[in-house]
Amino acid sequence: MRPFMAKILEKGPLGRDMVRFVLHAPEAFLQPVLPGMFVHIKVPNDASHILRRPISIMDADAKAGSITLGIQPKGDGTQRICTLEPGDEMEIIAPLGNSFALNGAKTVWALGGGVGVAPMLFACHEFSKMAQVTAVLGFRTAEQVYAEGDFAPFADLMICTDDGCRGFNGTVVDAVREKLELPELIIACGPTPMLKAVQAFALERDIPCQLSLEQRMGCGYGACLTCSCKTKRSDGSETFARVCADGPIFDAKAVVL
């Protein structure tokens, strides 16, 4: 594995606040590219931004050698990345991190919030081959909703908005509390308050649950120990794990949020 240049094939909006890129990245498929993994992108044409930016893989097509990303141009680095156009190249390291695991579950809830909706698409795409997937996607408001059409072939879909402009009026966890039939597995990615609520819900009902965490990252491959999160050992004592290399997916029972 080494960093490589990935040519941008497509670029377009994802709702109001995000940008969708499709990259030609066959080198990434030298190892399996799995749902939950991420790419680490160098900020282009700028030596002053030292660190790469970790971005979840939104979808991947091994046959075409392409990877789809959903990027929110929030800070200066991601804004610079989002100025790239089709035909330009991104310098990336991929794929990094661990992945969601179905573990034989037949029914899955894929819960996404905001930027965290993006990796849920890849998970739904893969898991729908072996399980029945319900995607519950949360946004602040209707204009931010994205990728509905992409999810449709792979999952039963429920949209939630905080302001009630679209779909369920409330949070993703509020929405799932109203569902009668519990799944065999919950996977989730989103802001920490959402993950905390999902974790509490899953632990309360003893449903296997995997959470995708976000943390400020240095290297992205495990060396610098900066993207730590608190985890519980089997004896109950607490320690730190690396979000980049031990995660970003953690068992809800093992992670302290």
Partner 1 sequence: MNKVDLSVSLCGVTLKNPIIAASGTYGFGRDFTRFYDISRLGGISAKGVTPKERAGNPPVRIVETPSGILNAVGLQNPGIDAFLETELPWMLEQGTTVICNISGNTIEEFCDMARKLNNSSVAFIEVNVSCPNVHAGGKVFGSDPESILAVTQAVRRCTDKPIVVKLSPNVSDIAEMAVAAQEGGADAVSLINTITGMAIDVNTRRPVLGNITGGMSGPAVRPVALRMCYQAAQAVSIPVVGMGGIMTGEDVVMFLLAGCTAVQVGTANLADPMACVRIIDQLEDYMNRKGIKRVEELVGALITE
Identify each DSSP E strand in the chain by its residue range. Answer: 4-14, 18-24, 38-41, 53-61, 66-71, 89-96, 107-113, 132-139, 156-161, 168-169, 185-189, 209-212, 228-232, 238-242, 249-251, 255-256
| The one among 8, 131, 165, 245 contacting partner 1 by CB under 8 A | 245
Q: Which of the ranges 15-23, 43-51, 100-108, 152-160 carries the binding residues for partner 1, by CB under 8 A? A: 43-51
Can residue 233 be called a binding residue for partner 1 (CB under 8 A)? no
Can residue 200 be called a binding residue for partner 1 (CB under 8 A)? no
Can residue 3 be called a binding residue for partner 1 (CB under 8 A)? yes
| The one among 79, 107, 141, 226 contacting partner 1 by CB under 8 A | 226
Find out whether 202 and 209 touch, Cβ atoms under 8 Å. Answer: yes
Least distance in Å: CB of 79 to partner 1? 14
Q: Which of the ranges 7-15, 60-68, 180-188, 237-245 carries the binding residues for partner 1, by CB under 8 A? A: 237-245
- Match 């931010």 to its residue by tokens: 144
Can residue 26 be called a binding residue for partner 1 (CB under 8 A)? no
* Alpha-carbon span 245 to 28, nearest angstrom: 16
* Alpha-carbon span 210 to 74, nearest angstrom: 26
Instruction: Provide the terminal-to-terminal Cα distance of the chain, rounded to the nearest Å.
Output: 32
* Alpha-carbon span 128 to 131, nearest angstrom: 5
Can residue 9 be called a binding residue for partner 1 (CB under 8 A)? no
In the window 144-163, what residues touch partner 1 (CB under 8 A)? none
Can residue 63 be called a binding residue for partner 1 (CB under 8 A)? no
In the window 73-102, what residues touch partner 1 (CB under 8 A)? 77, 93
Q: Point out which residues bind partner 1 (CB under 8 A).
A: 1-3, 42, 47-52, 77, 93, 215-219, 221-230, 238-240, 245
